Chains A and B, each alone.
Chain A
């Protein structure tokens, strides 16, 4: 059964923000769906534990594209510890998608995983 796309989702899907790469990024974060080859790669530029810039490349469904765009706006300018405390529920709620779609949480989870490893190293 097809799901309807919310207005918020369509806004981010049709005009995704922060697409691209950062040449001298501090670290990269990848989220990947092995079953179909869809995935996202974030380029994170950190200065004094603050995310100064974020860009990403993505191959995915409209939900994954919208979630990556929304996530990029959500995390930009935040401190690492603030990002690590973010909950994907905010993204599900904002984009109006039920939580059975893991493609919505994939971008934030990828970023949090990479930042956690970075802070622990």
Chain B
């Protein structure tokens, strides 16, 4: 039996999406920017996909910019906005983010620091929730943009996006959220959230790799960060990925329709995994149990190396990921920056695996995983105890 429990890393295409993706690849060869009939057919489908994506997040058609994925969307949001407003607002030099962002945002913000912006990394509490008081103190009339992720990729903790949006609005700064890990898992309504920009990536919600989108609220100034044929209103040049966006739209529609149903199923499974862990001592569940993306679990085991546990499970054809990194390697020192920011002990950071359920799992797989998890933790502890 093969059990894939790494759905925060990527998700397999839903069977319906795969078949639709193949159809579009085969039947829509035209360049969507061509004026002939093939081009126009592709353009119609491209526009349909854009409207579909907009509908799924309660946005307008012209507020969606298709990108190659989440990283590109984050970069366009941060660098594109600052480029567009640098001259108009020379006194807004502050860029605020959190200490647990994905590298796509963290590294971008660090680069902005090198370019002369004053960058702030808000701390989080032990559950991974951003320090709201810190944001209140630091988001002000000098702030250009604040970027806080919707859901964390390692522990699944959801952030108070609506409240942070409000803070930013009051300070007159732009708010961007990296919603890559939340899209398709929680109901997404950009009007209700009040965000100015939001990033998403199709392969995290059962769509294809290499495609994503940026929601840009109407009126938000944005300049391109790279140049070419002026596609996507000049913001993202490059031939339109018609099969990619069509399959993404199909996937987003399908997962959005099933959010509630999957929430209940995933909660049952994560409860079962937590229950299985009670057979073991020295287990810590990281994150906010009542406020995380459904199906996400970050589990730490004392006396166990997370990479070794992942390797042992992999030998049983079970795929999970680990937050631990071999600290003996010069390029991988420090392990998880997320768990460190949450003040997790080194012992637990070192013994952490991430388990994220998905559409392709079933009860039998979760039973198998629970048995093997307990078995392998005990095995590794025997190696360390003799």
Query: Which residues of A come within 8 Å of B, CB atoms?
Result: 5, 10, 13-14, 16, 19-21, 33, 35-38, 55, 57-65, 100-103, 106
Q: CB within 8 Å of A: which of B349-386?
A: 349-350, 380, 382-386
Cα–Cα, bound, A65→B382 (Å) = 13
The size class of the interface chain B forms with chain A is 20 to 34
A and B contact pairs by CB, cutoff 8 A, 19 listed:
A5-B311, A13-B311, A14-B315, A19-B383, A35-B327, A35-B333, A36-B305, A36-B335, A36-B346, A37-B346, A37-B347, A37-B350, A55-B386, A57-B386, A59-B305, A60-B308, A61-B326, A62-B308, A102-B329
In the complex, residue of chain B having the shortest beta-carbon distance to the beta carbon of A35: B327
Cα of A38 to Cα of B382 in the assembled complex, Å? 14
Option from B308, B346, B386 in Cβ contact (under 8 Å) with A65: B308
With contacts A14-B315, A35-B327, A59-B303 known, what are 18 further pairs, Cβ within 8 A? Answer: A5-B311, A14-B312, A16-B383, A33-B328, A36-B327, A36-B349, A37-B350, A57-B384, A58-B384, A59-B383, A60-B308, A61-B305, A62-B307, A62-B308, A100-B331, A101-B328, A103-B329, A106-B328
Q: What's the least CB distance linking A32 to chain B, in Å?
A: 11
Interface string of B288-307 (1 = CB under 8 A from A): 00000000000000011101
Nearest-neighbour CB distance to chain A for B333, whole angstroms, equals 7
Bound: A63/B324 CA distance, A: 14
Cβ of B279 < 8 Å from any Cβ of A? Answer: no
Contact A100:B330 (CB < 8 A) given known A58-B384, A59-B304, A59-B383: yes
* Binary interface encoding of chain B residues 315-354 relative to chain A, with 1 for a CB under 8 A from any of its CBs, else 0: 1000000001011111101010000000000110110000
5 shortest interchain CB distances as A-B pairs: A59-B384, A103-B328, A36-B350, A21-B386, A102-B328
In the complex, which residues of chain A have a beta carbon less than 8 angstroms from the beta carbon of B305? 36, 38, 59-61, 64
Distance of A39 from chain B, by nearest CB (Å) = 9
Give CA–CA (A16, B315) in the complex, Å. Answer: 14
Compute how far the CA of A64 lies from the CA of B346 in the bound complex, rounded to whole angstroms. Answer: 18
Most chain-A CB neighbours within 10 Å: which of B326, B327, B329? B326
A19 to chain B: which residues have CB within 8 Å?
382-383, 386
Q: How far is the CA of A60 from the CA of B326 in the complex (A)?
A: 9
Residues of A near B308 (CB, < 8 A) are: 13, 60-62, 65
CA–CA, A32 and B317, complex, Å: 31
Q: Give the CA-CA distance A63 to B347 in the complex, in Å.
A: 18
- In angstroms, Cα B332 to Cα A101, docked, is 10
The reply to whether B386 and A20 form a contact with Cβ atoms under 8 Å apart is: yes
B333, B380, B385, B386: which has the most chain A beta carbons within 10 Å? B386
Q: Is the CB of A101 within 8 A of B326?
A: yes
Task: Give Cα A61–Cα B312 distance, bound, in whole angstroms.
Answer: 11
